[in-house]
Amino acid sequence: MKKLIGLKKIKTAVFISGTGSNLKNLIKFSKTKTSPILIKLIISSN
């Protein structure tokens, strides 16, 4: 995986099902300074 340098983040889509516990953790991680992702789209099966 290529290491990201700078402020630009990767726009990310998240597919969820069930209770959404993984989404909750991804959102929490995406808010950290070291996270390379920016959640732009969430798709749910419910």
Mean predicted lDDT score pLDDT of the chain: 88
Number of Cβ atoms within 10 Å of the Cβ of 27: 14
**pLDDT of 6 above 90:** no
Catalogue the E-assigned strands of 1-46: 10-16, 37-44
Beta carbons of 37 and 44 less than 8 angstroms apart: no
Q: Are 17 and 46 in contact (CB under 8 A)?
A: yes
Pick the residue with more confidence: 5 or 19?
19
For the whole prediction, is pTM greater than 0.85?
Answer: no
pLDDT given at position 30: 95
- Report helix, strand or coil for 7: coil
